[in-house]
Amino acid sequence: MPYEHKSKAGNLGDVFKHLALIQLLDSQLTRHSNKTFCFADTYAGLPGYPLSQSKGWKKGVGKLTQIDVPKVPSARFWRQHVALCNQTSTPAMYPGSVTLAERLITEHGKKPQLLLWDSSTENCAILTATFKSARMVHEGKTKADDLLLEQADFLLIDPPGLSSKIHPDYPKWAYICSFLALPNHMLVWLPLYDKKNGRRAVSHRQVRKLAMALDMGVSEVTWGESGMIGCQLLYRCDEDAKLPLQQVLSWMAEEIVNCRIRHF
């Protein structure tokens, strides 16, 4: 059965995920010398999601449509393509991660090559029809030993969550771990739920400890007391790209949405 996820577009989790993705990609693209750039997404989802005036939207992107952004390329790109999404189409559509990645790669003058996986037959058909630059759209689970992943310049891992008592169908931590050992530049996004909504078999502290042992950076954002209360961002990137990433995430967390953020 396909994972049910990414249905509530525009919440705070999306804000931090996409800001981190844009910052990391922008940093890497700036120094990328090849004419093509290969982006892989293990949970591609849809190109965009209809927005609704939900609680998640009102506390997420909907709250940020009028903010001023610093003179940082990633923040300005995010502002242009995400914060103003409710003015660009009818019905309003929130762009998915693949859409943002393809646009940013193109803006850098590179030819995007997309490797996309999704568990839904319908999603795969839409992805194939939408992204002409896709080298592959595959229905099913990604495998860490897939030789195609070796060709990816950047890897995004954005599961709906980790396996728990409430969601035993979600990916197990051991499965996600199999990707962390890959040498690719990557971003892993994991939601944090309160105990009532998701008792993970592995704690966020254990996740952080392993990521750091693999020389990955970790940023953790918390913002609520119930439901989805935060997110973990694990990333492998050039050493000089970590501080700019942490700075732009801190700007969003501390100055704009009054969240708590910690970097490791």
Non-local (6+) Cβ contacts of 189 within 8 A are 13, 16, 17, 20, 156, 157, 158, 231, 232, 233
Neighbours of 264 (CB within 10 A): 13
Token digits for 247? 């700075």
pTM for the full predicted model: 0.91
For the chain, 264 residues long, give each residue's pLDDT as a single digit of tens: 344 444 455 678 888 999 999 999 999 999 999 999 999 999 999 998 877 655 555 666 666 666 777 888 888 898 887 766 655 556 677 889 999 999 999 999 999 999 999 999 999 999 999 999 899 999 999 999 999 999 999 999 999 989 988 888 899 999 999 999 999 999 999 999 887 777 777 889 999 999 999 999 999 999 988 888 999 999 999 999 999 999 999 999 988 788 999 999
CATH of domain 12-259: 3.40.50.150
Please tell me the distance from the alpha carbon of residue 238 to that of residue 127, in angstroms, as a whole number: 30
Please tell me the distance from the alpha carbon of residue 190 to that of residue 61, in angstroms, as a whole number: 19
Q: What does the domain layout of the chain look like in residue ranges?
A: 12-259
Cβ(194)–Cβ(27) below 8 Å = no
Please tell me the distance from the alpha carbon of residue 180 to that of residue 174, in angstroms, as a whole number: 10
Omega within 30 of 0 (cis) for the link into 91: yes
